[in-house]
Amino acid sequence: MPRGIAIPQLRQHLFAAAETVVLRGGPTGLTGRAVTVEAGVAAGLLYRHFADFDAFLAAYAVDRSFTLAAAPALTERVGTGEVAANLAGALTALPRPALTALARLLAMRPDLVPRIEDVLGAGGSGFDAIERAAAEYLAAERLQGRLPERADPAALALAAVGVLHRLVLAGRDLDRLRGVVDALVTAAAREGA
């Protein structure tokens, strides 16, 4: 990219480049140089906006964790439709590139989690935030009587998001999650009957 040309939303441009690098070659190929080459910008530009590469990775992880935490939009589904379909639908609708890249990055760099939580609070990183949103949704459905009182929303959310995490890391089709969530919710309903 020629010098002196403003890049709108430079941070997001660099974050998208980092995501592409991770999705293409995994997090081991993620370097400042790989990001700037993918973004088509001068090598030093990243370091003009971030103290170092770790600060860039932390900012990327915070941004994507925030995006993923906001994405499930489960609260407006409480009391409507089928519980399992609502949960599975929200989980499978998460932005797959961000979900996959963040899962791979945090698997390799778990030291980024405390940095994310410094900004977003405890449990605010990636899959933890998704799990919390799922547990809150299931707890609200239990209050509505749509899940039995004995159902454990936190355990159900952990199981569903654990399967999501496994499918994402393995590069598998997320539609398989629907059957798992349905089985979990059905089992919870049976236990409570």
Instruction: Please give the torsion angle defined by the CA atoms of residues 123, 127, 132 and 135, in that order, rounded to the nearest 10 degrees.
Output: -150
pLDDT at residue 1 in the model: 44
Angstrom distance (rounded) from CA 2 to CA 5: 6
- CATH code of the domain containing 15: 1.10.10
Q: Does residue 55 form part of some domain? A: no
Do residues 117 and 140 share a domain?
yes
What total of structural domains would you count in the chain?
Answer: 2
104 part of a folded domain: yes
Q: 188 and 101 in one domain?
A: yes
Measure the CA–CA gap between 70 and 147, rounded to whole angstroms.
Answer: 24
118 in the same domain as 28:
no
Rounded to two decimals, the pTM is 0.82
pLDDT digits 0-9 by tens, 41-88: 888 888 888 888 999 999 999 888 888 877 667 888 888 888 898 999
- Is 35 found in the same domain as 67? no
Whether 135 and 169 map to the same domain: the answer is yes
pLDDT at 2: 47
Asked if residue 139 and residue 71 are part of one domain, the reply reads yes
Domain span holding position 37: 1-49
Q: What pLDDT, on the 0 to 100 scale, is given for residue 119? A: 87
Q: Specify whether 128 is located in the same domain as 167.
A: yes
Q: Are residues 30 and 120 in the same domain?
A: no
Q: Are residues 36 and 96 in the same domain?
A: no
